Chain A
Amino acid sequence: MFRRQFLSLALAGTVAATLSAGLSAPVAAADDFIIVQSTTSTQNSGLFDHLLPIFTDKTGIEVRVVAVGTGQAIKNAANGDGDVLFVHARPAEEKFVAAGHGVKRHDVMYNDFVIVGPPSDPAGIAGSSDIVNALTKIASTKAPFASRGDDSGTNKAELRLWKDAGIDVGEASGDWYRETGSGMGATLNTGTGMGAYIMTDRATWIAFGNKGDYEIAVEGDNRMFNQYGIILVNAEKHPNVKSELGKSFVDWVISEDGQSAIANYKVDGQQLFFPNAPAGS
Protein backbone atom coordinates (compact mmCIF):
# COMPACT_ATOMS: atom_id res chain seq x y z
CA MET A 1 0.00 0.00 0.00
CA PHE A 2 2.79 2.36 0.92
CA ARG A 3 4.59 1.58 -2.29
CA ARG A 4 1.56 2.39 -4.37
CA GLN A 5 1.04 5.73 -2.72
CA PHE A 6 4.70 6.44 -2.98
CA LEU A 7 4.78 5.71 -6.68
CA SER A 8 1.74 7.77 -7.56
CA LEU A 9 2.93 10.64 -5.41
CA ALA A 10 6.36 10.51 -6.95
CA LEU A 11 4.80 10.46 -10.40
CA ALA A 12 2.56 13.47 -9.85
CA GLY A 13 5.33 15.32 -8.06
CA THR A 14 7.97 14.88 -10.71
CA VAL A 15 5.74 15.87 -13.60
CA ALA A 16 4.55 18.99 -11.81
CA ALA A 17 7.99 19.99 -10.57
CA THR A 18 9.75 19.39 -13.86
CA LEU A 19 7.19 21.16 -15.98
CA SER A 20 7.04 24.17 -13.71
CA ALA A 21 10.83 24.35 -13.55
CA GLY A 22 10.97 24.18 -17.31
CA LEU A 23 8.05 26.50 -17.99
CA SER A 24 8.85 29.17 -15.45
CA ALA A 25 12.25 29.88 -16.97
CA PRO A 26 11.13 31.86 -20.05
CA VAL A 27 8.50 33.72 -18.01
CA ALA A 28 11.10 34.76 -15.48
CA ALA A 29 13.45 36.06 -18.18
CA ALA A 30 13.21 39.72 -19.12
CA ASP A 31 10.89 40.41 -22.01
CA ASP A 32 13.26 42.98 -23.48
CA PHE A 33 14.55 40.77 -26.25
CA ILE A 34 13.98 40.33 -29.94
CA ILE A 35 14.53 37.37 -32.20
CA VAL A 36 16.49 37.99 -35.38
CA GLN A 37 16.23 35.40 -38.12
CA SER A 38 19.56 35.55 -39.89
CA THR A 39 22.09 33.59 -41.87
CA THR A 40 25.04 31.40 -41.03
CA SER A 41 27.49 33.79 -42.75
CA THR A 42 26.75 36.66 -40.36
CA GLN A 43 27.00 34.37 -37.33
CA ASN A 44 29.93 32.15 -38.35
CA SER A 45 32.05 35.14 -39.37
CA GLY A 46 31.69 36.51 -35.82
CA LEU A 47 29.95 39.72 -36.94
CA PHE A 48 27.09 39.31 -34.48
CA ASP A 49 29.44 38.68 -31.55
CA HIS A 50 30.99 42.05 -32.38
CA LEU A 51 27.81 43.98 -33.22
CA LEU A 52 25.18 42.85 -30.74
CA PRO A 53 26.93 43.72 -27.45
CA ILE A 54 27.33 47.31 -28.71
CA PHE A 55 23.60 47.54 -29.44
CA THR A 56 22.59 45.85 -26.18
CA ASP A 57 24.84 48.14 -24.13
CA LYS A 58 23.23 51.14 -25.73
CA THR A 59 19.57 50.12 -25.55
CA GLY A 60 19.27 47.31 -23.00
CA ILE A 61 17.58 45.20 -25.66
CA GLU A 62 18.84 41.66 -25.89
CA VAL A 63 19.12 40.25 -29.43
CA ARG A 64 18.62 36.50 -29.91
CA VAL A 65 19.92 35.29 -33.24
CA VAL A 66 18.65 32.18 -35.00
CA ALA A 67 21.27 31.53 -37.68
CA VAL A 68 20.03 29.34 -40.53
CA GLY A 69 20.18 29.48 -44.32
CA THR A 70 18.49 32.49 -45.92
CA GLY A 71 15.70 30.30 -47.33
CA GLN A 72 14.84 28.87 -43.93
CA ALA A 73 15.24 32.24 -42.20
CA ILE A 74 12.69 33.78 -44.56
CA LYS A 75 10.26 30.90 -44.03
CA ASN A 76 10.61 31.12 -40.24
CA ALA A 77 9.99 34.87 -40.35
CA ALA A 78 7.00 34.35 -42.66
CA ASN A 79 5.58 32.12 -39.91
CA GLY A 80 5.94 35.02 -37.52
CA ASP A 81 8.81 33.36 -35.64
CA GLY A 82 11.05 36.39 -35.48
CA ASP A 83 10.93 40.15 -35.14
CA VAL A 84 13.62 41.05 -37.63
CA LEU A 85 14.93 39.35 -40.78
CA PHE A 86 18.61 39.94 -41.67
CA VAL A 87 19.59 37.98 -44.79
CA HIS A 88 21.19 38.17 -48.23
CA ALA A 89 18.91 37.33 -51.16
CA ARG A 90 17.39 40.54 -52.47
CA PRO A 91 14.69 39.10 -54.78
CA ALA A 92 13.43 36.78 -52.03
CA GLU A 93 13.53 39.65 -49.51
CA GLU A 94 11.46 41.87 -51.81
CA LYS A 95 8.97 39.07 -52.26
CA PHE A 96 8.77 38.73 -48.47
CA VAL A 97 7.90 42.42 -48.14
CA ALA A 98 5.48 42.36 -51.10
CA ALA A 99 3.60 39.46 -49.46
CA GLY A 100 3.02 41.71 -46.45
CA HIS A 101 5.32 39.78 -44.08
CA GLY A 102 7.82 42.64 -43.81
CA VAL A 103 7.45 46.38 -43.27
CA LYS A 104 10.29 47.66 -45.44
CA ARG A 105 13.62 46.38 -46.76
CA HIS A 106 16.81 48.34 -46.09
CA ASP A 107 20.26 47.78 -47.59
CA VAL A 108 22.74 47.17 -44.77
CA MET A 109 26.11 46.06 -46.07
CA TYR A 110 27.79 43.96 -48.70
CA ASN A 111 30.70 41.69 -49.19
CA ASP A 112 31.42 39.40 -52.10
CA PHE A 113 31.44 35.78 -53.04
CA VAL A 114 34.63 33.99 -53.99
CA ILE A 115 35.39 30.59 -55.46
CA VAL A 116 37.90 28.65 -53.39
CA GLY A 117 39.74 25.66 -54.76
CA PRO A 118 42.58 23.18 -54.20
CA PRO A 119 46.15 24.15 -55.12
CA SER A 120 46.15 21.54 -57.92
CA ASP A 121 43.54 23.73 -59.66
CA PRO A 122 42.10 20.99 -61.94
CA ALA A 123 39.99 23.47 -63.96
CA GLY A 124 42.83 25.95 -64.42
CA ILE A 125 40.89 28.93 -63.10
CA ALA A 126 43.17 30.23 -60.34
CA GLY A 127 43.66 33.98 -60.50
CA SER A 128 40.63 34.51 -62.75
CA SER A 129 38.24 37.37 -62.19
CA ASP A 130 35.65 36.25 -64.74
CA ILE A 131 33.16 34.07 -62.92
CA VAL A 132 31.17 32.94 -65.97
CA ASN A 133 34.33 31.89 -67.76
CA ALA A 134 35.55 30.07 -64.63
CA LEU A 135 32.29 28.17 -64.19
CA THR A 136 32.33 27.18 -67.86
CA LYS A 137 35.83 25.75 -67.39
CA ILE A 138 34.78 23.84 -64.28
CA ALA A 139 31.88 22.31 -66.20
CA SER A 140 33.93 21.43 -69.28
CA THR A 141 36.71 19.78 -67.25
CA LYS A 142 34.11 18.18 -64.96
CA ALA A 143 36.16 19.31 -61.97
CA PRO A 144 34.26 18.57 -58.75
CA PHE A 145 32.18 21.49 -57.44
CA ALA A 146 30.47 21.41 -54.04
CA SER A 147 27.23 23.36 -53.86
CA ARG A 148 25.22 24.29 -50.76
CA GLY A 149 22.07 22.95 -52.44
CA ASP A 150 19.98 24.32 -49.55
CA ASP A 151 18.11 27.30 -51.02
CA SER A 152 20.29 29.66 -48.99
CA GLY A 153 21.30 33.13 -50.19
CA THR A 154 24.67 31.80 -51.33
CA ASN A 155 23.00 28.88 -53.08
CA LYS A 156 20.58 31.20 -54.90
CA ALA A 157 23.45 33.44 -56.03
CA GLU A 158 25.47 30.43 -57.19
CA LEU A 159 22.57 29.03 -59.22
CA ARG A 160 22.06 32.43 -60.85
CA LEU A 161 25.72 32.44 -61.93
CA TRP A 162 25.48 28.93 -63.41
CA LYS A 163 22.43 30.16 -65.34
CA ASP A 164 24.46 33.14 -66.61
CA ALA A 165 27.07 30.66 -67.82
CA GLY A 166 24.35 28.65 -69.57
CA ILE A 167 25.12 25.45 -67.68
CA ASP A 168 22.44 23.09 -66.40
CA VAL A 169 23.95 21.82 -63.15
CA GLY A 170 20.86 19.72 -62.45
CA GLU A 171 22.09 17.25 -65.07
CA ALA A 172 25.52 16.99 -63.44
CA SER A 173 24.16 16.60 -59.92
CA GLY A 174 25.72 13.59 -58.26
CA ASP A 175 28.45 13.54 -60.88
CA TRP A 176 30.95 16.45 -60.70
CA TYR A 177 28.32 18.81 -59.26
CA ARG A 178 27.72 17.81 -55.64
CA GLU A 179 24.94 19.29 -53.54
CA THR A 180 25.69 18.92 -49.84
CA GLY A 181 22.32 20.25 -48.69
CA SER A 182 23.95 21.90 -45.68
CA GLY A 183 25.27 25.19 -44.35
CA MET A 184 28.30 27.10 -45.61
CA GLY A 185 30.67 25.71 -43.00
CA ALA A 186 29.57 22.11 -43.50
CA THR A 187 29.88 22.53 -47.26
CA LEU A 188 33.40 23.94 -46.88
CA ASN A 189 34.34 20.99 -44.66
CA THR A 190 32.91 18.53 -47.19
CA GLY A 191 34.17 20.32 -50.31
CA THR A 192 37.75 20.72 -49.11
CA GLY A 193 37.66 17.03 -48.15
CA MET A 194 36.76 15.97 -51.70
CA GLY A 195 39.01 18.44 -53.52
CA ALA A 196 36.06 20.35 -54.98
CA TYR A 197 35.70 24.01 -55.89
CA ILE A 198 33.30 25.83 -53.56
CA MET A 199 31.59 29.19 -53.77
CA THR A 200 31.50 30.96 -50.41
CA ASP A 201 31.01 34.46 -49.11
CA ARG A 202 34.35 36.06 -48.33
CA ALA A 203 33.49 36.70 -44.66
CA THR A 204 32.84 33.04 -43.86
CA TRP A 205 35.99 32.05 -45.74
CA ILE A 206 38.28 34.46 -43.90
CA ALA A 207 36.92 33.37 -40.51
CA PHE A 208 36.83 29.66 -41.41
CA GLY A 209 39.16 27.51 -39.34
CA ASN A 210 39.58 24.42 -41.53
CA LYS A 211 40.92 25.87 -44.80
CA GLY A 212 43.55 23.18 -45.30
CA ASP A 213 45.67 24.12 -48.33
CA TYR A 214 42.73 25.78 -50.11
CA GLU A 215 43.04 29.23 -51.61
CA ILE A 216 40.79 31.74 -53.32
CA ALA A 217 40.73 30.91 -57.05
CA VAL A 218 38.20 33.39 -58.43
CA GLU A 219 37.39 36.83 -57.03
CA GLY A 220 36.69 40.40 -58.06
CA ASP A 221 33.83 39.91 -60.52
CA ASN A 222 30.98 42.42 -60.11
CA ARG A 223 28.50 39.61 -60.55
CA MET A 224 29.73 38.09 -57.27
CA PHE A 225 28.49 41.05 -55.25
CA ASN A 226 26.68 39.93 -52.07
CA GLN A 227 24.19 42.42 -50.64
CA TYR A 228 22.66 42.05 -47.17
CA GLY A 229 19.28 43.52 -46.28
CA ILE A 230 17.34 43.99 -43.05
CA ILE A 231 13.56 43.91 -42.66
CA LEU A 232 11.26 44.49 -39.70
CA VAL A 233 8.62 41.74 -39.65
CA ASN A 234 5.15 43.22 -40.12
CA ALA A 235 3.08 43.28 -36.92
CA GLU A 236 -0.10 43.78 -38.94
CA LYS A 237 0.39 40.29 -40.33
CA HIS A 238 2.07 38.77 -37.26
CA PRO A 239 0.60 40.42 -34.13
CA ASN A 240 3.15 38.89 -31.73
CA VAL A 241 6.02 40.78 -33.37
CA LYS A 242 7.74 43.24 -31.03
CA SER A 243 7.61 46.12 -33.49
CA GLU A 244 9.07 48.81 -31.27
CA LEU A 245 12.09 46.80 -30.10
CA GLY A 246 12.61 45.36 -33.57
CA LYS A 247 12.45 48.77 -35.18
CA SER A 248 15.03 50.20 -32.82
CA PHE A 249 17.41 47.40 -33.88
CA VAL A 250 16.78 47.98 -37.59
CA ASP A 251 17.18 51.75 -37.13
CA TRP A 252 20.43 51.28 -35.24
CA VAL A 253 21.95 48.87 -37.79
CA ILE A 254 21.38 51.35 -40.63
CA SER A 255 22.34 54.38 -38.52
CA GLU A 256 25.79 55.95 -38.69
CA ASP A 257 26.63 54.24 -35.39
CA GLY A 258 25.67 50.77 -36.54
CA GLN A 259 27.26 51.22 -39.92
CA SER A 260 30.61 52.19 -38.45
CA ALA A 261 30.42 49.26 -36.04
CA ILE A 262 30.04 46.97 -39.07
CA ALA A 263 32.98 48.62 -40.84
CA ASN A 264 35.13 48.23 -37.73
CA TYR A 265 34.74 44.48 -37.58
CA LYS A 266 37.94 42.85 -38.77
CA VAL A 267 39.40 39.35 -38.73
CA ASP A 268 43.16 39.07 -39.21
CA GLY A 269 43.20 42.75 -40.13
CA GLN A 270 40.71 42.27 -42.97
CA GLN A 271 37.36 44.04 -43.07
CA LEU A 272 34.64 41.43 -43.65
CA PHE A 273 31.56 43.53 -44.38
CA PHE A 274 31.20 46.91 -46.09
CA PRO A 275 28.30 49.02 -44.83
CA ASN A 276 26.17 50.63 -47.54
CA ALA A 277 22.88 51.71 -45.99
CA PRO A 278 21.73 54.93 -47.70
CA ALA A 279 22.73 57.89 -45.51
CA GLY A 280 19.94 59.44 -43.47
CA SER A 281 17.68 56.42 -43.74
Chain B
Amino acid sequence: MQDFGTTLAEAIGLILLADGDLIEIITLSLRVTLSAVIIACAIGLPFGALVGAFRFPGRAVVTVFLNALMGLPPVVVGLVVYLMLSAAGPLGPLRLLYTPTAMIIAQTILVTPIVAALTRQVIEDLQTEYSEQFASLGVGPLDRIAALLWDARYSLLTVALAGFGRAVAEVGAVIIVGGNINHVTRVMTTTIALETSKGNLELALALGVVLLAIAVIVNAAVMALRASAVRSAYA
Protein backbone atom coordinates (compact mmCIF):
# COMPACT_ATOMS: atom_id res chain seq x y z
CA MET B 1 0.00 0.00 0.00
CA GLN B 2 1.41 3.34 -0.93
CA ASP B 3 0.80 6.65 0.79
CA PHE B 4 -1.55 9.38 -0.35
CA GLY B 5 1.28 11.53 -1.65
CA THR B 6 2.20 8.90 -4.21
CA THR B 7 -1.45 8.44 -5.10
CA LEU B 8 -1.85 12.15 -5.63
CA ALA B 9 1.21 12.17 -7.87
CA GLU B 10 -0.24 9.26 -9.83
CA ALA B 11 -3.55 11.12 -10.18
CA ILE B 12 -1.80 14.22 -11.50
CA GLY B 13 0.16 11.97 -13.83
CA LEU B 14 -3.11 10.49 -15.10
CA ILE B 15 -4.48 13.96 -15.82
CA LEU B 16 -1.32 15.25 -17.48
CA LEU B 17 -0.96 12.13 -19.57
CA ALA B 18 -4.51 12.80 -20.85
CA ASP B 19 -4.85 9.19 -21.93
CA GLY B 20 -7.53 8.84 -24.64
CA ASP B 21 -9.50 6.25 -22.71
CA LEU B 22 -9.55 8.42 -19.60
CA ILE B 23 -10.72 11.46 -21.56
CA GLU B 24 -13.50 9.35 -23.07
CA ILE B 25 -14.58 8.15 -19.63
CA ILE B 26 -14.51 11.66 -18.14
CA THR B 27 -16.47 13.04 -21.11
CA LEU B 28 -19.14 10.39 -20.76
CA SER B 29 -19.35 10.97 -17.00
CA LEU B 30 -19.93 14.67 -17.56
CA ARG B 31 -22.35 14.12 -20.43
CA VAL B 32 -24.51 11.68 -18.44
CA THR B 33 -24.45 13.64 -15.20
CA LEU B 34 -24.96 17.10 -16.69
CA SER B 35 -27.83 15.83 -18.87
CA ALA B 36 -29.47 14.27 -15.83
CA VAL B 37 -29.03 17.46 -13.78
CA ILE B 38 -30.45 19.66 -16.54
CA ILE B 39 -33.54 17.48 -16.97
CA ALA B 40 -33.93 17.18 -13.19
CA CYS B 41 -33.81 20.99 -12.90
CA ALA B 42 -36.30 21.43 -15.73
CA ILE B 43 -38.74 19.23 -13.82
CA GLY B 44 -37.71 19.84 -10.21
CA LEU B 45 -37.41 23.65 -10.19
CA PRO B 46 -40.98 24.43 -11.34
CA PHE B 47 -42.43 21.53 -9.37
CA GLY B 48 -40.62 22.49 -6.19
CA ALA B 49 -41.63 26.12 -6.70
CA LEU B 50 -45.31 25.19 -7.11
CA VAL B 51 -45.29 23.19 -3.88
CA GLY B 52 -43.34 25.93 -2.11
CA ALA B 53 -45.42 28.90 -3.26
CA PHE B 54 -49.01 27.67 -2.96
CA ARG B 55 -51.21 26.11 -0.34
CA PHE B 56 -53.29 23.16 -1.43
CA PRO B 57 -54.76 20.05 0.21
CA GLY B 58 -52.18 17.30 0.71
CA ARG B 59 -49.28 19.75 0.50
CA ALA B 60 -47.72 18.43 3.71
CA VAL B 61 -47.86 14.88 2.35
CA VAL B 62 -46.22 15.93 -0.91
CA THR B 63 -43.48 17.71 1.03
CA VAL B 64 -42.79 14.67 3.20
CA PHE B 65 -42.59 12.42 0.14
CA LEU B 66 -40.31 14.82 -1.72
CA ASN B 67 -37.98 15.01 1.24
CA ALA B 68 -38.00 11.24 1.71
CA LEU B 69 -37.26 10.62 -1.98
CA MET B 70 -33.98 12.49 -1.55
CA GLY B 71 -32.79 9.31 0.12
CA LEU B 72 -33.65 6.99 -2.78
CA PRO B 73 -31.08 4.17 -2.81
CA PRO B 74 -29.26 4.24 -6.19
CA VAL B 75 -29.20 0.44 -6.44
CA VAL B 76 -32.99 0.30 -6.11
CA VAL B 77 -33.42 3.00 -8.76
CA GLY B 78 -31.03 1.08 -11.01
CA LEU B 79 -32.99 -2.10 -10.50
CA VAL B 80 -36.34 -0.45 -11.26
CA VAL B 81 -34.98 1.23 -14.40
CA TYR B 82 -33.40 -2.08 -15.44
CA LEU B 83 -36.74 -3.89 -15.07
CA MET B 84 -38.44 -1.16 -17.11
CA LEU B 85 -35.86 -1.10 -19.91
CA SER B 86 -35.07 -4.82 -20.01
CA ALA B 87 -36.16 -6.64 -23.17
CA ALA B 88 -38.66 -8.42 -20.90
CA GLY B 89 -39.88 -5.10 -19.44
CA PRO B 90 -42.57 -2.67 -20.62
CA LEU B 91 -40.10 -0.27 -22.27
CA GLY B 92 -37.94 -3.04 -23.75
CA PRO B 93 -38.79 -2.21 -27.40
CA LEU B 94 -37.04 1.18 -26.99
CA ARG B 95 -33.73 -0.74 -26.76
CA LEU B 96 -32.30 1.70 -24.26
CA LEU B 97 -30.73 -0.76 -21.81
CA TYR B 98 -26.92 -0.58 -21.66
CA THR B 99 -26.84 2.87 -23.31
CA PRO B 100 -25.88 6.28 -21.88
CA THR B 101 -29.56 7.27 -22.18
CA ALA B 102 -30.47 4.57 -19.65
CA MET B 103 -27.89 6.03 -17.29
CA ILE B 104 -29.30 9.54 -17.77
CA ILE B 105 -32.80 8.25 -16.97
CA ALA B 106 -31.63 6.55 -13.77
CA GLN B 107 -29.69 9.59 -12.57
CA THR B 108 -32.58 11.93 -13.43
CA ILE B 109 -34.81 9.85 -11.14
CA LEU B 110 -32.21 10.17 -8.38
CA VAL B 111 -31.59 13.90 -8.78
CA THR B 112 -35.10 15.26 -9.45
CA PRO B 113 -36.38 14.76 -5.87
CA ILE B 114 -33.27 16.50 -4.51
CA VAL B 115 -33.78 19.51 -6.77
CA ALA B 116 -37.54 19.61 -6.13
CA ALA B 117 -37.30 19.22 -2.35
CA LEU B 118 -34.57 21.84 -1.90
CA THR B 119 -36.31 24.22 -4.31
CA ARG B 120 -39.51 23.87 -2.33
CA GLN B 121 -37.74 25.00 0.83
CA VAL B 122 -35.96 27.92 -0.85
CA ILE B 123 -39.13 29.16 -2.55
CA GLU B 124 -41.28 28.73 0.53
CA ASP B 125 -38.92 30.89 2.57
CA LEU B 126 -38.86 33.56 -0.10
CA GLN B 127 -42.64 33.42 -0.55
CA THR B 128 -43.14 34.26 3.13
CA GLU B 129 -41.05 37.35 2.57
CA TYR B 130 -42.83 38.38 -0.67
CA SER B 131 -46.43 37.39 0.04
CA GLU B 132 -47.67 40.83 1.12
CA GLN B 133 -46.08 42.52 -1.84
CA PHE B 134 -47.57 39.99 -4.21
CA ALA B 135 -51.01 40.49 -2.67
CA SER B 136 -50.89 44.28 -2.80
CA LEU B 137 -49.68 44.28 -6.42
CA GLY B 138 -52.21 41.62 -7.42
CA VAL B 139 -49.58 39.38 -9.02
CA GLY B 140 -50.98 36.30 -10.78
CA PRO B 141 -49.87 32.78 -9.84
CA LEU B 142 -47.58 32.12 -12.82
CA ASP B 143 -45.87 35.49 -12.47
CA ARG B 144 -45.37 34.73 -8.80
CA ILE B 145 -43.58 31.45 -9.58
CA ALA B 146 -41.46 33.18 -12.19
CA ALA B 147 -40.54 36.04 -9.87
CA LEU B 148 -39.73 33.70 -7.00
CA LEU B 149 -37.57 31.40 -9.15
CA TRP B 150 -35.77 34.38 -10.65
CA ASP B 151 -35.05 36.07 -7.36
CA ALA B 152 -33.90 32.80 -5.79
CA ARG B 153 -31.65 31.95 -8.73
CA TYR B 154 -28.40 32.04 -6.79
CA SER B 155 -29.68 29.72 -4.07
CA LEU B 156 -31.10 27.47 -6.76
CA LEU B 157 -27.68 27.27 -8.38
CA THR B 158 -26.45 25.62 -5.20
CA VAL B 159 -29.47 23.31 -5.36
CA ALA B 160 -28.43 22.25 -8.86
CA LEU B 161 -24.88 21.68 -7.62
CA ALA B 162 -26.19 19.42 -4.86
CA GLY B 163 -27.92 17.40 -7.56
CA PHE B 164 -24.72 17.31 -9.62
CA GLY B 165 -22.78 16.06 -6.61
CA ARG B 166 -25.22 13.23 -6.04
CA ALA B 167 -25.20 12.18 -9.70
CA VAL B 168 -21.50 12.41 -10.46
CA ALA B 169 -20.55 10.31 -7.42
CA GLU B 170 -23.17 7.63 -7.97
CA VAL B 171 -22.24 4.10 -9.04
CA GLY B 172 -25.02 1.75 -7.95
CA ALA B 173 -27.62 2.76 -10.52
CA VAL B 174 -25.42 3.40 -13.57
CA ILE B 175 -23.55 0.12 -13.26
CA ILE B 176 -26.83 -1.85 -13.42
CA VAL B 177 -28.51 0.01 -16.30
CA GLY B 178 -25.30 0.90 -18.15
CA GLY B 179 -23.49 -2.40 -17.69
CA ASN B 180 -20.07 -0.71 -17.40
CA ILE B 181 -19.34 -1.57 -21.04
CA ASN B 182 -15.90 -0.43 -22.18
CA HIS B 183 -16.06 2.56 -24.60
CA VAL B 184 -19.88 2.62 -24.37
CA THR B 185 -21.17 3.08 -20.83
CA ARG B 186 -18.04 3.15 -18.69
CA VAL B 187 -17.92 6.26 -16.50
CA MET B 188 -15.60 7.43 -13.72
CA THR B 189 -17.39 5.72 -10.85
CA THR B 190 -17.82 2.38 -12.61
CA THR B 191 -14.16 2.46 -13.65
CA ILE B 192 -13.18 3.01 -10.02
CA ALA B 193 -15.38 0.06 -8.99
CA LEU B 194 -13.83 -2.10 -11.73
CA GLU B 195 -10.23 -1.25 -10.83
CA THR B 196 -10.99 -1.89 -7.17
CA SER B 197 -12.33 -5.32 -8.06
CA LYS B 198 -9.17 -6.01 -10.04
CA GLY B 199 -7.20 -5.20 -6.92
CA ASN B 200 -5.60 -2.15 -8.54
CA LEU B 201 -6.28 -0.04 -5.47
CA GLU B 202 -3.72 2.68 -6.24
CA LEU B 203 -5.14 3.26 -9.72
CA ALA B 204 -8.68 3.25 -8.31
CA LEU B 205 -7.75 5.83 -5.72
CA ALA B 206 -5.97 7.99 -8.29
CA LEU B 207 -9.10 7.90 -10.45
CA GLY B 208 -11.06 8.95 -7.38
CA VAL B 209 -8.82 11.99 -7.02
CA VAL B 210 -9.40 12.80 -10.69
CA LEU B 211 -13.18 12.56 -10.14
CA LEU B 212 -12.90 14.90 -7.19
CA ALA B 213 -10.88 17.34 -9.30
CA ILE B 214 -13.63 17.33 -11.94
CA ALA B 215 -16.24 18.09 -9.29
CA VAL B 216 -14.10 20.98 -8.02
CA ILE B 217 -13.73 22.37 -11.55
CA VAL B 218 -17.47 22.19 -12.26
CA ASN B 219 -18.28 23.88 -8.96
CA ALA B 220 -15.68 26.58 -9.50
CA ALA B 221 -17.01 27.26 -13.00
CA VAL B 222 -20.56 27.66 -11.71
CA MET B 223 -19.42 29.95 -8.90
CA ALA B 224 -17.40 32.07 -11.34
CA LEU B 225 -20.46 32.35 -13.57
CA ARG B 226 -22.51 33.43 -10.60
CA ALA B 227 -19.97 36.01 -9.51
CA SER B 228 -19.83 37.61 -12.94
CA ALA B 229 -23.65 37.63 -13.10
CA VAL B 230 -23.79 39.40 -9.75
CA ARG B 231 -21.20 41.94 -10.89
CA SER B 232 -23.06 42.74 -14.09
CA ALA B 233 -26.35 43.02 -12.17
CA TYR B 234 -24.90 45.79 -10.01
CA ALA B 235 -22.72 47.39 -12.68
Assembled-state Cα–Cα distance A205/B173 (Å)? 28
The stretch that binds A, out of B3-11, B33-41, B57-65, B209-217, is B33-41
B68-76, B164-172, B197-205: which one contacts chain A? B197-205
Q: What is the bound-complex CA distance between A3 and B143, given in angstroms?
A: 8
| Contact present for A81 and B98 (CB under 8 Å) | yes
B42-A80 in contact (CB<8A): no
Q: Which of B100, B142, B198 is A207 in contact with, Cβ under 8 Å?
A: B198
The closest CB in chain A to the CB of B96 belongs to A26
Q: Does B29 contact A (CB under 8 A)?
A: no
Q: Are A65's CB and B181's CB within 8 A? A: yes
Q: Does B67 contact A (CB under 8 A)?
A: no
Interface size for B (C-beta < 8 A) is 40
A210 CB–B CB distance under 8 Å: yes
A259 within 8 A of B: no
Q: Is the CB of A7 within 8 A of B101?
A: no
A52 closest partner in B (C-beta): B182
Contact of B146 with A by CB under 8 A: yes
Query: Is A4 on the interface with B (CB-CB < 8 A)?
Result: yes
- A-chain residues with CB within 8 Å of residue B101 when the two chains form the complex: 22-23, 25-26
Which B residues are CB-close (under 8 A) to A15? 39, 42-43
Please give, as numbers and ranges, the residues of chain B lying within 8 Å of A240 by CB-CB distance.
87, 92-93, 95
Q: Does A279 touch B at the CB level, under 8 Å?
A: no
Counting CB contacts under 8 A, is B150 at the interface?
Answer: yes
Q: Is B87's CB under 8 angstroms from A21's CB?
A: no
- Contact indicator B198/A208 (Cβ below 8 Å): yes
Q: A209 in the interface, Cβ–Cβ < 8 Å?
A: yes
Which among A23, A67, A81, A207 has the greatest number of chain B C-beta atoms within 10 A?
A: A81
Contacts of A19 in B (CB 8 A): 39
Name the CB-closest residue of B to A10.
B42
Report whether B196 and A189 are in contact in the complex, using a CB–CB cutoff of 8 Å.
Answer: yes
Compute how far the CA of A7 lies from the CA of B201 in the bound complex, rounded to whole angstroms.
46
Docked CA distance A43–B193 (Å): 13
Which of chain B's residues have a CB closer than 8 A to the CB of A224? none
Task: Give Cα A14–Cα B99 distance, bound, in whole angstroms.
Answer: 21
Q: 20 additional contacts, CB 8 Å, given A18-B104, A22-B35?
A: A3-B143, A4-B142, A7-B149, A18-B39, A22-B101, A35-B98, A35-B179, A35-B181, A40-B197, A44-B198, A64-B184, A79-B88, A81-B98, A184-B197, A185-B196, A188-B199, A207-B198, A209-B199, A211-B199, A240-B93
